[in-house]
Chain A
Amino acid sequence: MPEETMAVNHFAPDSSNQDEKGELLLLREARSGDSESFGALVRRYQDELYRLALGLVSSPHDAEDLVADAFVKAWRHLAGFKNESSFRTWLFRILINASRSHLRRRYLRRKLFFRDSAENNDGDDVLVQFADPSAENDPEKRSERASLRAAVTAAKRALSAREREAFTLKYEQDMKIREIAGLLSLSPNTVKVLLFRATKKMAAALK
């Protein structure tokens, strides 16, 4: 079960009143054009969104770009957000759609220009800061984590896009199958099947 579920939000100001405001209030203010309130929401969710993006596209650079794009898109379409789902779920949907488009473009580029099938993030794993603070403070442990991360990234290449989404949302975002089903507009049984396949493939690759 999860060892380190709590990640540190590096950029969230500790003593800011903005972060203590309720999300609904921040949303209302952001809708009326207050970009600072939107900023508080960005800082609240950027770590979670980044983890999801990195799980889906593997490259830290691409993940950061996708997160920024998702927030800009959210700001532009804030009027269309009707509170039918939580703001977090809405952001996740925007990001997942952006990641799918990104992966399609990357696939086409690779096919058109005959690039190597390996994803273009070789060596990028050393740039990732780990949620576990002990791995950040100990160089040996950090190196071991970077190698493990490279292995996990390589193993994920064997997964289909949907399997990767299910695996990432389950084990890297700690979401329940029911939540994943709602987010991906799939039935819980379909998510279970995706999860079975993905976990078996990952286990076989990481043996």
Chain B
Amino acid sequence: MKCQEIRDEIILYHADELDERARQAVETHCAGCPACLAFSREIAAAVAAAHRVRPAGPRVDVWLEVRERIGKKPAFFPRWAPVSLAAVLVAGVLFTKTFVSFPGNVNRSDRPVVSELEFLADYELWEDLDTLESL
């Protein structure tokens, strides 16, 4: 087996994931290959370090905190409430803008356009102005 191929096997060797035959193959290769033996030693050191610094457990009894927290009634204001409130507000604004019109707030489409005010064409505006001035 080539050195590049054996490197992954070396990692599995130290991870205790190889059967006996594969373990023998790794050991045989490393016995005759200084580079792979050095690699194996580096991997072994890293694995040993991870084992040696393994912690015992938490410094406090987690159950005491958990018991206190699960003993409390769920908050009156559920976590999904802000999202629901925001959704209702957005829906309300959209509904108002779409369907509700307020007095004095006439929609653009409802305003009369000049072409619809044809009676103005017949209106003797200038003459009336003269009349108004004479008053």
A residues neighboring B (CB under 8 Å):
1-5, 7-11, 35, 38-39, 42-43, 46-47, 50-51, 54, 60, 63-64, 67-68, 71-72, 75-76, 127-132, 135-136, 145, 148-149, 151-152, 155, 167, 170-172, 176-177, 192, 195-196, 199-200, 202-204, 206-207
Contacts and interface: CB of A to CB of B under 8 A. Distances in A.
Interface in B48-86: 48-63, 65-67, 69-71
B124 interface: no
Interface of B: 8, 11-12, 14-17, 39, 42-43, 45-63, 65-67, 69-71
Given A152-B49, A177-B15, A203-B45, A9 B55 contact: no
Contacts of B54: 4, 7, 51, 130-132, 172
A50 B51 contact: no
A15 B85 CA distance: 51
A11 B60 CA distance: 8
Contacts of A11: 57, 61-63
Contacts of B15: 170-171, 177, 195, 199
Given A64-B60, A152-B50, A177 B17 contact: yes
A195 to B, nearest CB: 7
Contacts of B69: 68, 72
A143 to B, nearest CB: 13
B55 A196 contact: no
B36 to A, nearest CB: 13
Contact of A50 (B17, B52, B57): B57
A202 B59 contact: no
B47 A199 contact: yes
B11 A42 contact: no
Contacts of A50: 55, 57-58, 62
Contacts of B59: 60, 64, 127, 129
B56 A71 contact: no
B19 to A, nearest CB: 13
Contacts of B53: 128, 130, 145, 148-149, 152
A156 B60 CA distance: 25
Contact of B52 (A42, A68, A148, A202): A148
